[in-house]
């Protein structure tokens, strides 16, 4: 009953599983023949399925100008980066000088990263002052990933995160004050104080959470993507082209939910992105101590698992917001036109411990220093000024504005009231009838004498 053609609209939509795109889609997503031979590091939307080894493309210079494929940058910078960067695979996407952003985009990217960093630094301060409690996982150092990916999405696109979710929420547009108030456990928090650091949700901003167990959110993100496909193909809503980006870490990539969801996303051609924030550490477990390398490799590479599940896998320099933004734009466009998911492995680093409770004794000083030198924020600041995208004066102005914004967020959170006990039973059920909970959340005994 499966038609190998375009999906029909209406209630009888057939599931299109072979490598064809939606009618009218610009891309030529040709049938891939042999899985596993797919060139990692290529965005497939415009690929015609030719297979080139990374070495070949490096030797021939940047990928042919007729293709919008981005593997490595030009030969020169490639050879330099191969010597300079850690051995993370010869097909890592790094900064590509031909990828340009305009002034507005540059400002947005810089300010967004700055907001993330300042917010997290303030969280640490507030935690040590006893304003927030429990497990708080900070994002310092990984801002290029959040800004690079989420900044390329629309407000009606979805983001699904993990417990390291403050900056994802802020990048997605959740007001800083509401995130801070949530961290303080106040009524005006984005989840009314009921979620906390690890459970940020915002239906208004299509931010699907905030999950404490790793891997738990990945299928949820795929569900949102499925919903978009369903709306388009079954309900006939032409405007339903939203995508969902799910963020998770290197430790999660050994979890069943990761593989199960990669399979389903590929099978159903879901419009989603799987963004791995590989910061090399899962609390105290180094990535290469928990993950077996693929055959023929000396180190484990997560992006290589994409093609095994029928989607392109991309490795990108997660400390460079321009590289991330470029990869994200291609992956989002690919998903939006119906060509399916992409697995993006971002090589990144967290400057702080796993959480504020982590003494962070296992990571070596040399490693931390090496990544500190690659801090995405000063790197982009210098880039902007050098490229004439912003002046020193403007940048200082923005930095001041962000500091003020964070201070205001703390004031808002401080001023917000604490939840009263009457809030305890509210929101347990969408429909509380029969549960002894009245509509306004109070406890209600059943009618007995």
User: Which residues are at the interface with other proteins (CB under 8 A)?
Assistant: 1-2, 11-15, 158, 160, 189-196, 199, 201-204, 206, 208-213, 216, 218-231, 233-235, 256-257, 260-261, 263-264, 267-268, 426-431, 433-436, 446-448
At 327, which helix (H) or strand (E)? helix 321-336
Question: Helical H runs in 85-216?
Answer: 103-128, 143-150, 166-172, 176-183
Shortest spacing between CB 415 and other proteins, in angstroms: 18
Taken in order 424, 119, 148, 138, is the CA torsion positive or negative?
negative
- Taking the least distance from each CB to other proteins, the nearer of 246 and 279 is 246
- Taking the least distance from each CB to other proteins, the nearer of 202 and 355 is 202
Measured between alpha carbons, how far is 203 from 247 in angstroms, rounded to an integer?
A: 17
Shortest spacing between CB 142 and other proteins, in angstroms: 24
- Taking the least distance from each CB to other proteins, the nearer of 110 and 201 is 201
Shortest spacing between CB 171 and other proteins, in angstroms: 18
Q: Residue 133 to residues 136, 243, 292, 355: CA-CA distances in angstroms?
A: 7, 34, 36, 11
Count CA within 13 A, CB hemisphere, residue 78: 21
- Taking the least distance from each CB to other proteins, the nearer of 204 and 404 is 204
Tokens 């540059």 found at? 106
3-state secondary structure of 99: coil
269 has which bridge partners? Answer: none
Shortest spacing between CB 73 and other proteins, in angstroms: 36
- Taking the least distance from each CB to other proteins, the nearer of 116 and 195 is 195
- Taking the least distance from each CB to other proteins, the nearer of 269 and 280 is 269
- Taking the least distance from each CB to other proteins, the nearer of 19 and 441 is 441
Shortest spacing between CB 265 and other proteins, in angstroms: 9
- Taking the least distance from each CB to other proteins, the nearer of 108 and 308 is 308
Q: Residue 207 to residues 171, 182, 370: CA-CA distances in angstroms?
A: 10, 15, 33
Shortest spacing between CB 223 and other proteins, in angstroms: 2
- Taking the least distance from each CB to other proteins, the nearer of 1 and 295 is 1
Shortest spacing between CB 366 and other proteins, in angstroms: 38
The tokens describing 226, both together, are 């499925």
Shortest spacing between CB 5 and other proteins, in angstroms: 13
DSSP letters for 401-415: HHHHHHHHHHHHHHH
At 376, which helix (H) or strand (E)? helix 376-387
- Taking the least distance from each CB to other proteins, the nearer of 270 and 315 is 270
- Taking the least distance from each CB to other proteins, the nearer of 66 and 447 is 447
Tokens 């499925």 found at? 226
- Using alpha carbons, select from 25, 62, 32 the residue that is nearest to residue 47: 32
Q: Is 378 exposed, middle or buried (0-12, 13-18, 19+ CB in 10 A)?
A: exposed
Shortest spacing between CB 166 and other proteins, in angstroms: 15
Shortest spacing between CB 261 and other proteins, in angstroms: 5
- Using alpha carbons, select from 448, 445, 21, 19 the residue that is nearest to residue 233: 21
Question: Helical H runs in 191-320?
Answer: 217-233, 256-267, 287-290, 305-308
Shortest spacing between CB 147 and other proteins, in angstroms: 24
The tokens describing 39, both together, are 């060139």
3-state secondary structure of 256: helix
Q: 327: Cβ–Cβ under 8 A, 6 or more apart, which residues?
A: 43, 70, 93, 148, 314, 316, 344
3-state secondary structure of 118: helix
């Amino acid at each position: 009953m499966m038609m190998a053609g375009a999906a029909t609209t209406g209630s009888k939509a057939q599931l299109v599983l072979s490598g064809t795109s939606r009618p009218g889609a610009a891309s030529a997503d040709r049938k891939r023949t042999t899985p596993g031979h797919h060139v990692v590091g290529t965005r497939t939307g415009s690929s015609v399925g030719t297979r080139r080894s990374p070495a070949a493309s490096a030797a021939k210079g940047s990928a042919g100008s007729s293709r919008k494929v981005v593997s490595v940058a030009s030969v020169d910078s490639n050879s330099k980066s191969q010597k300079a960067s850690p051995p993370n695979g010869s097909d890592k996407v790094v900064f590509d000088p031909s990828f340009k952003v305009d002034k507005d985009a540059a400002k947005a990217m810089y300010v967004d990263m700055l907001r993330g960093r300042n917010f997290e630094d303030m969280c640490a301060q507030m935690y040590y002052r006893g304003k927030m409690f429990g497990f708080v996982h900070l994002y310092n150092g990984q801002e290029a990933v959040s800004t690079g990916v989420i900044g390329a999405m629309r407000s009606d696109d979805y983001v699904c995160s993990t417990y390291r979710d403050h900056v994802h929420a802020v990048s997605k547009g959740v007001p800083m004050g509401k995130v801070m108030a949530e961290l303080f456990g106040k009524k005006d928090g984005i989840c009314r104080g009921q979620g906390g650091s690890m459970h940020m949700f915002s239906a208004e901003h299509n931010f699907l959470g905030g999950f404490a167990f790793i891997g738990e959110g990945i299928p949820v993100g795929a569900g949102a993507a499925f919903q978009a496909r369903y709306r388009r193909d079954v309900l006939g809503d032409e405007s339903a082209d939203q995508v969902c980006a799910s963020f998770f870490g290197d430790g999660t990539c050994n979890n069943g939910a990761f593989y199960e969801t990669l399979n389903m996303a590929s099978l159903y051609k879901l419009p989603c992105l799987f963004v791995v924030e590989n910061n090399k550490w899962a609390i105290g477990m180094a990535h290469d101590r928990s993950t077996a390398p693929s055959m023929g490799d000396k180190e484990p590479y997560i992006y290589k698992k994409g093609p095994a599940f029928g989607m392109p896998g991309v490795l990108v320099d997660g400390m460079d917001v321009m590289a991330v933004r470029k990869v994200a734009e291609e992956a989002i466009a690919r998903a939006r036109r119906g060509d399916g998911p992409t697995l993006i492995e971002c090589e990144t680093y967290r400057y702080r411990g796993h959480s504020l409770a982590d003494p962070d004794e296992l990571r070596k000083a040399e490693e931390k220093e090496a990544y500190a030198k690659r801090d995405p924020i000063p790197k982009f600041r210098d880039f902007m000024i050098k490229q004439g995208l912003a002046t020193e004066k403007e940048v200082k102005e923005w930095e001041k504005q962000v500091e003020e914004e964070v201070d205001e967020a703390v004031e808002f959170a401080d001023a917000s009231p604490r939840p009263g006990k009457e809030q305890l039973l509210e929101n347990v059920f969408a429909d509380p009838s029969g549960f002894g909970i009245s509509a306004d959340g109070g406890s209600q005994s059943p009618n007995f004498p």
